[in-house]
A and B are shown apart, each in its own frame.
Chain A
Amino acid sequence: MGERAVVEEGTRTEPEPGSMAELYARYVPGGIRLAFLLTGDRNRADDLAHEAFVRCVGRFAHLRAHRAFEAYLRRAIVNLHTSGIRHRYAERDWLRREGPRLARATASLPDVAGREDLWRALRTLPARQRAALVLRYYEDLSENDTAGVLGCSVAAVKSLVARGSETLRTTIAQGEDR
């Protein structure tokens, strides 16, 4: 027998204020959208947001400000997305083989003709660069707040955004050349 749905079909039940279900309803849909922008994959976004939510509610009794939940959830999602060293080594591995053959392209982005090109280019960015762009341009966080979420300095945020933007321009320019 399957799980009983929290909200049964045809019945609209408002979650109890302050309950875990209410926290979910209030914050997790936005968290899934954020995670989708970070991962580009809806299933991974669901997994990421749900794991972050579970971790945050696990610590909820220790939070000193319940209204800070959204910020903690955002930070958890970004940290889960960018955590681990696999990115670095995956890149290192790839570049060992491909590095010498990579062409350098320094042309600036003439025009962003297709959003899908931009979306695809975003998917090639390292996790932290992509996260910095999403936090700055989607969440509209300041550089200070972005640094707080990413756990780095403001200078590092500036660098991540600059590098990410440069890579996007380069990638799209290369695509147009082809």
Chain B
Amino acid sequence: MNDLDRDLRELFHDKAGSIDAAPAAPTDVLRRGRRRQVRTVFASSLAAVAALAIAVAVAARLSGGPNQIPVTNPPYGERIATIHGITVTAPAGWTLIDDWPVASLLPTTSQTCSFSATGSPIGPSPAGGSTSSEPVVQPSSSCTSEPMPLPAGIPVLQLANFGLPLDGTVCQVGDLRSVDLPADGVAAYVAAFPQGMTTQDFLAACPGGATVTTFADRGLTTSYAAVSLIGPDASPGDVAAVERFMNSLGGLRVPDDEPATASPGYVVAARVDGGTTWRLEAGFPFRGSGSGIGVTLVVTGAEGHETASTPAPTAEPNGQPTERTERLADGSGWLAWGTSSPLVSSITSVAPDGTRTPATLVPWPDGMRSLVGSDEATQLDGSIWYAIVTQLGQLQVGGGSSLAAAPEPLAVTALPYRVEGSATVANGSDLGHAWQLRAHGHTLDLRVDGSDAGGFTAAGSGRTACGRVDVSGGTFLLCVETADVSYVRVTADVSGEQPVADGRWMPAGDPPDGRAWIVALPGEGTGYQTESGGHPLAISWPSRAVPQPGDITSAGMTGAISWAIRWTDQACPVMEVVFSQVGDTGASSCLTPWNGSDPAVGGVYGQREASIILTGPEAMSCDLRDPSGSVPGVISGGTVAPVDGWTHTGQCVFTIPVGHTVTVRLTDQQGNPILGRRGQVTITADRGSLTLGSPATAP
């Protein structure tokens, strides 16, 4: 243990010990908890019933009957997966479904409540400004809860030598579609039984069941059971494969974990590479968003704990393949994976040293087609791809002419580089200067014409950051981005049709931690920086100690908008919303600097949402809450502009949908409230205007 480790331990225990936390639960917390319990019971029941009903209804509409959908055998090779701590080998051409997420959908209890409610109307409470839209209920004395009969338990996984629809099971589970066992079919079905199980009931719910094996979780709190189903004409080889799996389950103890993913999925690829146990699951991870089709990487860590990636949709909006990466546990390389459109027939990862690694492309499972509409089925004509690479590189795709015509950056180029210790180094010549870029993790240094020109460390700033280095003749934009960012470019227009310069990249350090980018911006100008998967971000160059009219003094984005502070010829800054997902772009009037007493509010008040900037003291903190208690995205910190009167003015930027109200609490650097005695204000977004609920200056 080094000095810092020891100091941290002592500091944490001292600080934690200074907190006197009363063991008595505040009444309002208990009340919120009870309300949440009642709501959860109802919501989960409704969600499960709705999800299952929709799936079954869609399937029935398309096929004419719940059990009549032919699903072809999946064309996948052998897969070795560990699902919820259960290692399973799926032979080539077999179906393997991770059903464990059904545990979060399927209600295990039914609850009946009758209660009388009293409450108060929505609005500020006299006690302290909190709002309540829910009645006060006392449900505990009048609710009855009963286990739901699930003789086949909650599905964990299914293995079969035939095609299965994603919403189907070989046993009878609630309202899920029951699939008949073919005469030559074999299958294994594994389920959890939170309320216990009987072998007789289990076999009765699984027609064709041959043998049953039971096991448990590590805490011995939940029973698990597997049943093998064997058709009369099954081949000896298939029977042996199922029996091997059944035999592997005896004495197993699985982790007591919640599912890592939100919905069931077909396991389309699964292996162990470089110490990483991974699997790709195809399904509907984007519930409630578009077709919902996507693929998710699940990595099984030590002791069977699982981590799921952000899902990838069927392709990027511009038709290009999606790309995600996962570092292998032993550091020997990367798992690159993603999806591609039907126009792509091959994908090759080309490393900076020229090494070419062809990716494996597999089709989407046939069993998903019965769960999407005909207009969405074409999305399933593309592919899912993966490759194990030693270095992250550029993707080269092979395919039809339509794809080649898709918009793409002008010159995304991997820089030739060398490794010096743990740093990567690249040389080049731009803007009339010879430069050398050195990346060591999140530290970038630029030498220009043999001298240190600048750089930055993204220390304390997470995974991504950009900085600028001005030289005679232009500005170098340097960025550290995650490895899945495939291009960085600057354009003159917000729509990205007038390119100024494209970025070039190299791995950020050795071993790489993302990508280091350099963009050479000529002369002076303003424009928009875009990168794959991001919104345009306003930018101006060079950096100036005193901004000139038109200069961008700061910019940022949330998930909803991209905004900028632009200096105007009226010697004041305005807020511009340069991109809005709902189309409410525009500019504010002049912002108000911090006057030492009153924060001010300004922004772009649109027809669908308001983009708001609060100005106050430097380093103020903004805490936003909406009535449900969640916190919308907010950017706070920093100063508005490096100009007298503004250098000590801080800012917070956020959006509010029209018709919504948020409560804002502002505190200074020391944590003191700066909105009067109550320390908070409510802001309601109306069409084209705001309504403030407590004193503030509205320009």
Contacts and interface: CB of A to CB of B under 8 A. Distances in A.
A93 B638 contact: yes
B687 interface: no
B468 A20 contact: no
A90 B636 contact: yes
A3 interface: yes
B329 A37 contact: no
Nearest to B44: A62
A148 B256 CA distance: 12
Contacts of A115: 7, 10-11, 14
Contact of A25 (B24, B36, B445, B478): B24
Nearest to A171: B460
B244 to A, nearest CB: 28
A90 B652 CA distance: 10
A7 B679 CA distance: 29
Interface string B140-154: 000001000000000
Interface of B is mostly: mixed
A45 B7 CA distance: 22
A126 B8 contact: no
A24 B30 contact: yes
B23 A25 contact: yes
Interface stretch (B58-66, B228-236, B296-304, B385-393): B296-304
A96 B554 contact: yes
A27 to B, nearest CB: 10
B3 interface: yes
B566 to A, nearest CB: 13
Given A104-B456, A144-B302, A153-B327, A24 B23 contact: yes
Contact of A126 (B40, B192, B222, B460): B460
B33 A168 contact: no
Residue among A45, A59, A61 having the largest count of chain B Cβ atoms under 10 Å: A61
A167 B460 contact: yes
A96 B109 contact: no
Nearest to B32: A54
A20 B7 CA distance: 36
Nearest to B221: A65
A112 B635 contact: no
A93 B635 contact: yes
Given A99-B456, A155-B327, A104 B25 contact: no
Interface string B551-584: 0011111110000000000000000000000000
B543 interface: yes
B556 A7 contact: no
How large, as a class, is the contact surface on chain A? 35 or more
Residue among B441, B513, B556 having the largest count of chain A Cβ atoms under 10 Å: B556
A36 B40 contact: no
B406 interface: no
B8 A118 contact: yes
Interface string A110-133: 011001001100101110110001
A109 interface: yes
Given A61-B40, A154-B329, A87 B468 contact: no
Contacts of A96: 466-467, 537, 539, 554-556
A176 interface: no
A61 B4 CA distance: 42
Interface in B588-628: 623
Given A20-B33, A54-B32, A137-B5, A64 B221 contact: yes
B457 interface: yes
B459 interface: yes
B350 interface: no
B327 A119 contact: no
B4 A112 contact: yes
A109 B466 contact: no
A5 B11 contact: no
Given A37-B16, A58-B33, A62-B44, A6 B26 contact: yes
B335 to A, nearest CB: 11
A141 interface: no
A102 B456 contact: yes
Residue among A85, A97, A128, A134 having the largest count of chain B Cβ atoms under 10 Å: A97
B25 A25 contact: yes
Contacts of B555: 93, 96
Interface string A52-79: 0111011111101101100000000000
A5 B554 contact: no
A118 B634 CA distance: 27
Contact of A67 (B9, B25, B219): B219
A24 B671 contact: no
Interface in B443-484: 443, 445, 454-470, 478
A138 B464 CA distance: 28
Contacts of A26: 23
A165 B4 contact: yes
A104 B457 contact: yes
Contact of A28 (B12, B21, B32): B21
Residue among B10, B25, B307 having the largest count of chain A Cβ atoms under 10 Å: B25
A90 B467 contact: no
A152 interface: yes
A94 B464 contact: no
B2 to A, nearest CB: 9
A102 B456 CA distance: 6
B375 interface: no
B19 A45 contact: yes
Contact of A104 (B10, B16, B445): B445
Contact of B222 (A2, A53, A64, A153): A64
B41 interface: yes
B147 to A, nearest CB: 11
B217 interface: yes
B253 interface: no
A40 B508 CA distance: 32
A107 interface: no
16 contacts: A20-B25, A24-B24, A29-B21, A32-B19, A58-B40, A64-B222, A85-B558, A85-B559, A86-B558, A91-B462, A96-B466, A99-B456, A102-B456, A144-B302, A153-B329, A163-B441
Given A84-B631, A96-B554, 6 more contacts: A30-B21, A44-B623, A86-B558, A96-B537, A119-B15, A170-B460
Return the 4 tightest CB-CB contacts between A and B, nearest first.
A99-B467, A58-B36, A93-B556, A29-B21
Interface of B: 3-5, 7-16, 19, 21-30, 32-34, 36-37, 39-41, 44, 104, 108-109, 111, 127, 145, 192, 194, 217, 219, 221-222, 256-257, 299, 301-303, 305, 307, 326-327, 329, 331, 441-443, 445, 454-470, 478, 513, 537, 539, 543, 553-559, 623, 629, 631, 633-638, 671
Interface of A: 2-7, 15, 20-21, 24-26, 28-30, 32-34, 36-37, 41-42, 44-45, 50-51, 53-55, 57-62, 64-65, 67-68, 84-100, 102, 104-106, 109, 111-112, 115, 118-119, 122, 124-126, 128-129, 133-134, 137-138, 144, 147-148, 151-155, 159, 163, 165-171
